[in-house]
Amino acid sequence: MLSLLRPLLAICPYLLLLLPGRHCRILGYNNGFHYQDISNGNGNGEIYFNGVRLHVESPQPSVSAMRGSSVTLPCHYHYEPELATPRRTRVKWSWLPANTITAPVSPEAFARETEVMVAMGNRHRSYGSFRGRVRLRRSAPGDMSLVINELQLNDTGRYRCEVIDGLEDESVTVELELRGVVFPYYSQKGRYHFNFFGAHQACQDQDATLATFEQLFTAWEEGLDWCNAGWLADGTVQYPITVPRDGCGGEDLAPGLRTYGQRHQLLHRYDAFCFSASVKGTAYFLKQPTKLNFTEAVQACASDGSQIAKVGQLYAAWRLMGLDRCDAGWLADGSVRYPITKPRANCGPLQPGVRSFGFPPPYLKFGVYCYR
């Protein structure tokens, strides 16, 4: 029994300041569990838990959703054997952003997790960019599922649901992915002009983020083939090849992601692979009686109560909303593109995609894609 008291004896000096009369007294404590001392003279003073067991589970190890929507990350807990009366538990949701995830989960990863929400009973607190956007679903006893509203591009990653009850502490993780589209992006100056930070900013300017390895891999599985290397969110430089050929790793190399590994984020320069999931607004081709130069295109969208569309918005409208238009139009970065979901004659290659004319001189005349 002495081994059970050691933790409490160790804290007695601190309790002396709190207890009347300054006598060290061990207060009775009972959390409803049964513990058995199994030290048996081995000197370790170990305590073995052999009573009610806390289980934390998720029926879905991964969840995907669209930007701007609401999503629920499932998490449920229960006891074995079942308790006759409910207990007071504490739940903590934390988050590891997608660009910092390494598999398998390591102790170092826990240290990098950011708190999303902490709740006990009816009291809760949310943190950072999640403040005011998250809540617990609580649809049934033991339901600690996290509801995230107004889903943002940077919300992707691994979420941990941790339930704490006295000495019991169990958790489960759920991956959150956004349904979106990966697209290669290069500078107006030409190929390979972005360092890592320039690539990050370039994607943001187009209402997108740097793609993760998982997002690029999925895009490759879906047919993305691009022979220019680009930055990813983890600081690596890679490119996807579905048809091996000279100049792209060689004909003898199997299809897949070619990688340059980690590169110097300030000195080395490449293109970027961006990820967009913009579906809150609407991208559309603005019908005009005549073609427009770039300045006129910007003004035309403003006169229509919208703004000229960004590249990420056009890609998302093509991929997620089925936008199909065989008319070349200006975009906000000064490029000219058009989206095709149903390939046909005089509308580019036989595969669906967003066709690009690059960055023509701004005085040339085309249509325009707007966004509202």
Q: Choose from 157-171, 241-255, 327-341 the range with maximum mean pLDDT.
A: 327-341
Pair 212, 116 in one domain:
no
Pair 140, 240 in one domain:
no
Residue 35's pLDDT is 33
Residue 271's pLDDT is 98
Q: What is the CATH number of the domain that holds 125?
A: 2.60.40.10
Domain membership of residue 42 (yes or no) is: no
For 172-216, how does the pLDDT look when each residue is reduced to its tens digit (9 = 90+)?
999 998 889 999 999 999 999 999 999 999 999 999 999 999 899
Pair 159, 211 in one domain:
no
Domain membership of residue 23 (yes or no) is: no
Structure tokens at 356: 């690009």
Span 346-351, average pLDDT: 94
Residue 19's pLDDT is 38
Pair 163, 67 in one domain:
yes
Pair 272, 290 in one domain:
no
In total, how many domains does the chain have? 3
Pair 126, 242 in one domain:
no
Domain membership of residue 40 (yes or no) is: no
Give residue 76's Cα distance to chain centre. Answer: 22
For 13-66, how does the pLDDT look when each residue is reduced to its tens digit (9 = 90+)?
433 333 344 444 333 333 333 333 333 333 333 333 447 889 999 999 999 888
Span 213-240, average pLDDT: 95
Residue 107's pLDDT is 52
Domain membership of residue 5 (yes or no) is: no
Q: What is the CATH number of the domain that holds 312?
A: 3.10.100.10
Q: Does residue 241 carry a pLDDT above 70? A: yes
**Is residue 97 a contact partner of residue 129, using CB atoms and an 8 Å limit?**
no
Residue 82's pLDDT is 85
Span 97-103, average pLDDT: 64
Pair 267, 303 in one domain:
no
Pair 57, 173 in one domain:
yes
Q: Does residue 296 carry a pLDDT above 80? A: yes
Residue 101's pLDDT is 52
In DSSP terms, 368 is beta-bridged to 330
Pair 291, 196 in one domain:
no
Domain membership of residue 30 (yes or no) is: no
Span 138-165, average pLDDT: 93
Give residue 121's Cα distance to chain centre. Answer: 28
Domain membership of residue 45 (yes or no) is: no
- Band (pLDDT 50/70/90 cuts) for residue 166 is confident
Q: Global pTM?
A: 0.70
Q: Choose from 16-20, 169-173, 332-336 the range with maximum mean pLDDT.
A: 332-336
Pair 320, 259 in one domain:
no
Domain membership of residue 3 (yes or no) is: no
Span 82-93, average pLDDT: 86
- Band (pLDDT 50/70/90 cuts) for residue 137 is very high
Cis amide linkage into residue 7, ω under 30° from 0: no
Own/partner long-range contacts of 117-126 (Cβ < 8 Å, ≥24 apart):
117/91, 117/92, 117/93, 117/146, 118/90, 118/91, 118/92, 118/93, 119/90, 119/91, 119/92, 119/144, 120/88, 120/89, 120/90, 120/91, 121/88
Residue 108's pLDDT is 54
- Residues in CB range of 144: below 8 A, 6 or more apart: 75, 76, 77, 91, 119, 136, 137, 138, 161, 163
- Band (pLDDT 50/70/90 cuts) for residue 225 is very high
Residue 81's pLDDT is 87
Residue 279's pLDDT is 67
**Is residue 317 a contact partner of residue 294, using CB atoms and an 8 Å limit?**
no
Mean pLDDT lowest among 64-78, 104-118, 172-186, 351-365:
104-118
Mean pLDDT over all residues of the chain?
85
Mean pLDDT lowest among 51-55, 91-95, 169-173:
51-55
Q: Choose from 46-55, 248-257, 290-299 the range with maximum mean pLDDT.
A: 290-299
Last residue of a domain, one of 125, 159, 178: 178
Domain membership of residue 44 (yes or no) is: no
Pair 115, 206 in one domain:
no
18 vs 182: CA distance, rounded Å:
60
Last residue of a domain, one of 276, 310, 337: 276
Last residue of a domain, one of 249, 276, 303: 276
163 vs 92: CA distance, rounded Å:
7
Pair 346, 311 in one domain:
yes
200 vs 275: CA distance, rounded Å:
11
Span 318-338, average pLDDT: 97
Range of the domain at 123: 53-99+111-178
Residue 14's pLDDT is 37
